[in-house]
Structures are given as C-alpha cells and as structure tokens.
Amino acid sequence: MINDSNDNRRYTISLIMVAVCLIYIIRLFSIQIVDKSYLEQSQNNAYLRKVIYPSRGLITDRNGRLIVFNKSAYDIMIVPREARGFDTLAFANTLGITKADFIKRMGIIKRKSGYSPYVPQLFMSQLSDEEYGPVSEKLYKFNGIYVQKRTLREYNYHNAALALGSIGEVSKKQIEADDFYQQGDYAGQNGIELTYEKVLRGEKGEEILLRDSRGRVKGKYEDGKYDKKPVPGKDIELSLDIELQKYGEELMHGKIGSIAAIEPSTGEILALVSSPTYDPSMLVGRKRSANFAALSKDPLKPLFDRPMMAQYPPGSTFKTAQALVLQQEGIITPNTAYGCQHGFHAGALSVGCHGHESPLNLKHSIQHSCNAYYCSGFRTLIDNKKYKNVSEAIDIWKNHIVSLGFGYRLGADVPNEKRGYIPNSSVYNKVYGENRWKGLTIISLSIGQGEVLATPLQIANLGATIANRGHYYTPHLVKKIFGGEIDSSFITRHNSTIDPKYYDIVVEGMELVMVSGTGYYSRIDSIAVCGKTGTAENPHGKDHSIFMAFAPKDDPKIAISVVVENSGFGATWAAPIATLMIEKYLKGGIPKRRKPIEQRLLDANLIKE
C-alpha cells in the first residue's frame, strides 16, 4: 500500500515537471518565433535601421525642358519607446507647435495600424530646408528623435497639373497591395506620377547604425558593410510640349472646357488642357491636404480631368465619322447629294439646319455642316433592305464607329480615362421592343447627338485617324523612359474598318470648312488646316462649342479637339482656340493679323457671363 502511494507521488511530480517544461518550451517558442516584439526591442536597442529614400525620376517635355525635379525635405521620426525623459514642451517649441499638438500627434501615431513602440514612427513630415535649419541644431537634446531625409517634387512650370499628377502619402490599400511601401511613405496618386510610379520611384536603400546602451548612435554598423545604397528612379520624357500646354491654358483661362492635341503619326499627346486648372505646386508639402480639400470643394471642379473624363455629344464633328461609315456601307458616294430645306423633315419630325445651298454633295455637306445630309444618309443606312433588320444595321454601324476610337477607352497612360458611349441594337430593342423602331426613331445619332457620347481625347483621336487616312496609335503622354521602354501598345497601329480610299473626300471637305465654310474666320493663311466645327446640345444651359482639326493637310503634325462649355457655336470659341494652338505649334508664334483674335480669347471670361 505504501509502495503504491510513493509511485503515485512520483507520477504526479513527473507530470508536474513535464508540464512546467512544456510551458517554458511553449513560452520560449512564443517569445523567439511567434512574438516579434522582443526581437524588435533587442534589435532596436542595438541598431537603428534608417531607410534611405531614392531620388524620384525627373520629368522633361518632348524638347528636353525640365518640368518636374526634386528638392530636399525632412521628416521628423520618433521611436516612442526611447522618446522618454525629455522636455516635451521644449521639443514642441523647437518644431513650432504646441504641447497639446504634440500630445495629439502621439495619440494619432499610437492608433495607427501596425504601430510598434520600438519602430520609428513619422511625427512630422516634409520640412523644407528653411524649416529644418533651426530645428537641426537642437534635435540632439531629445532621445528617440532622428531625421529622415526625403525629396519633394518641385516644378519649373505652373502647368499640366492633372496630366503630371501629384505625390501623396500611401493608403492602407496601397501598402497591402505592394510591400515596397510602409506607413508614412509617399507615392504617385494621379496622373503620370501614378501611372509610372514603379518607373519613377526607384529602389530604397538602408543604413544600419550602431547604438550604445543609452540608445545613442555611435556610428555605422561594421563600417557600413551591410548598408544598401538607394537606386534613383528612372527619368522620363513626356510627349507634351510644355510651352504649347502653357499657351493652351492661357487661352482657356476664364472658360470651362478642354484641349487635347495629338501627333497623328505617333499618338503622342502634345497638350492636354483641362480648364479651370491649378498650380501643381499646391499639392506639395504639408499644405497638400488643405489645398486638396479646397480644390475638391471648388464648384468649378479643377480636379476633374476634362480631356479624359468629360463626356459630351460630339455634335457635328461626328459627321466626318458618319461620312466614312456611309461610304463604307455603300449608302453614299462622293457625288451623292441630298436636299436641305433649312433642315431634315419627315412627317411631324424636323431637324433644323442653317441656310446654305441645296442640294449638297458629300464634301460640301462637310463644308457647310448640313444636318439634312446626314439625317438622310443615316436613315437610309438603318432602314436599308440589305440588312436583315434594323438591329443588324445599327450593330454594323456601331462596329465601324468603334473602330474609329469611340465607345471604349483608348488605353491612354493617364488614369481615369472614360469610355464614352456608342449604343447598339439591344439598347433600342429594350426601349422600343425588338426591331420595333427605325431610322427616324434614332435620327439624332446621325448628327452626333442623342445617346452618343465622346471624350475630348476621342474627338482629337478621330482627327488623328482621318489625318492618317484610316489608322491611329493609342494616345500617350510618355515619349521615352531613360533606361527602360514604353509599353508596346503605344507603338501598335490600330486600323479602322473603313477602307483608306474613303478618307480623301472627307479630308477635302474638312479643308473646305476652313477655306470657305463654317471655320473660315479661324483660318491660317500659311497652313492648310482641315477642320470641323461642332455645337453640342446642352440641356443645362447654352450649347457647348466644339472643334476638331488637323494640320497640315498633307503630312499632318498635329490633330486637336477643343471644347468650350456653355459658349454657343463651335466657330465662335473652339475653332479660333484650336487654330491658334496649331499655329503656335507649327510656326512658334502668332502673326500680327491674328493678334486681335488671340487677345479676344485671352481676355474672355465666359464663366462670369
């Protein structure tokens, strides 16, 4: 009986010892493997790992003019575990803030996701050289504080803000998507800065510094053997002509609208004006948040990228596309003529038109922008017995229009591009019943109204396609990446479904627009410009003035679209702005004869009218 009792005690003691050993093993595993805080504490007691941020790539225009470069900035970093025992009031005064602000900032830091008291945290960001100078002399007094050097963007021009984009602090979503970033880092938030973020940002470096028992930095760990040098970001050359961009913004001052200009032979974007606009330097440094909030609240929406995002009925500029489709489908020839009795009339339906000769053939219909011509041709197309039904007719029409760059995103290297809208048969079958509609039902499509929507970039791209007699290249802003290559999609030719032989008559008609048609008063004496005026109906006020053109007629160097919202006829505002831009680009200046026109546009403030 006594032996049994001793055996039980031995078993119990053995179990207790095994349990204690297991507890220690589990705890040691947790401390050494699972819980990283002790590792962080020991490492941060011995070392200070400083990120060395690379210089961001420079941005130049197509002529080598420096647009965006870098300047030094300084972040005040704090290691909360070590930032003890110093005079917080003196520290706050050094930085030009109050003690209450210090407490508030520390509270925000501690509430951030992933916070650790052993890891450096961003306390104050982006001090300029002028701000940092007085601070640097006193920082040695404060334990757990050090400076992280960065770079900020600086601008040689106050233009192209939306095209260039800006730099801002990374979001939680960006950090989760890319392990390159950590809390407090900065990255491109829009424009080229966002699209080419991975090209521009470079690679981070690291400096490992040795600490003593009091946390004071004593020099580099093993003389910098394990340090990593940063790799600067790649420089990029834009296709923009910054002087042309600047001129376009001056012409559009006091107006709501846009300018998009493209080099037809390459798809390179020469100018991308959104008006109203803002100075890109407003979104740099510690004033970024306040300025961004103010711009966001501005009722004129300066943050809205109109060339890429605004969607308008293209109006009469769309007649050039209709002329191509109608020829391709055998509905008209260059000699086909339709009468116009101050418009198109069919029963109770009337689509008005201004006075001109009648009847007109194809090129003269473009010259005088005849609504009746395109209503008649489009009606014949949709109701033609060569197709099984109206659904097949409209879908064939849509496929041609899409091949000209409408209805879908072009794929430009600028974020937020909208697709516009080109309806198909399902849209009308749903509204009216399957094939229970006809050409007259959707006649407004014939003159670029109704359900058709296009972005200014798409309208400019139509001009480039006609200039090239049937093909285009995806519009893009980056011409060259130094040490890299641009995306192959930007050098891929897109052919339209329209036979090239049908383009010449449209080009002739567009030339007549400027010689003796609706664009006559915006002509350029020494340059053969091919253009098309347009007026887009606006249910919220005055019509939008639209113009599309390219020049010279042979070997074109520029295609352009201009939209001036709420301003009336295309010939009044958009056309002269476009031809001044063309003349500025091709000739380098504006001749004396055209100076009064230029001054009228520079002085005009249509927003107040």
| pLDDT above 60 (res 322) | yes
E-strand ranges in 212-263 read: 217-220, 236-238, 257-263
pLDDT, one tens digit per residue, over 412-422 is 999 999 999 99
Per-residue tokens: 185: 């880092």
**Which distant-in-sequence residues (6+ apart) come within 8 Å of 345 by Cβ?**
351
Residues 376, 338: contact at Cβ < 8 Å? Answer: yes
Local structure of 608: helix, strand or coil: coil
- Ranked by mean pLDDT, the top range of 7-11, 106-110, 212-216 is 106-110
* Burial letters 393-429, b for 16+ CB under 10 A, else e: bbebbbebbebbbbbebbebbbbebbebebbebeebb
Q: Measure Cα distances from 297 to 279, 303, 490 in Å.
A: 16, 10, 36
> Which stretch of 68-77, 366-375, 388-397, 579-588 has the lowest confidence by average pLDDT?
68-77
Least confident of 204-208, 400-404, 429-433, 511-515: 204-208
- Give percent above pLDDT 70 in the chain: 93
Look at residue 39 in the predicted model and tell me its pLDDT: 46
Residues 6+ apart with CB under 8 A from 59: 66, 67, 68, 69, 164, 192, 200, 235, 236, 237, 238
CA 154 to chain centre: 19
Q: Please give the DSSP secondary-structure letter assigned to residue 160.
A: -
Q: Look at the block and give the residue holding tokens 């070590």.
A: 82
Task: Assess contact for 397 and 363: CB atoms under 8 A.
Answer: no
Distance between CA 433 and CA 3 in Å, rounded? 99
Name the pTM for this structure: 0.88
DSSP for residue 144: T
Helical spans, DSSP H, in 30-76? 37-46
pLDDT in tens, 131-168: 888 888 888 888 888 888 888 999 999 999 999 999 99
CATH numbers and ranges of domains, the chain: 48-211+228-238 (3.90.1310.10), 258-603 (3.40.710.10)
Verify cis geometry, omega within 30 degrees of 0, for the bond prior to 276: yes
Does residue 387 have a pLDDT over 90?
yes
Neighbours of 226 (CB within 10 A): 13
Instruction: Say what the pLDDT of residue 31 is.
Output: 54
Residue 89 exposed, middle or buried by CB count within 10 Å (0-12, 13-18, 19+): exposed
pLDDT at 29 over 80: no
Edge to edge, what strands does the sheet with 268-275 contain?
268-275, 257-263, 558-564, 544-551, 530-536
Comparing CA positions, the residue from 413, 69, 411, 416 lying closest to residue 239 is 413
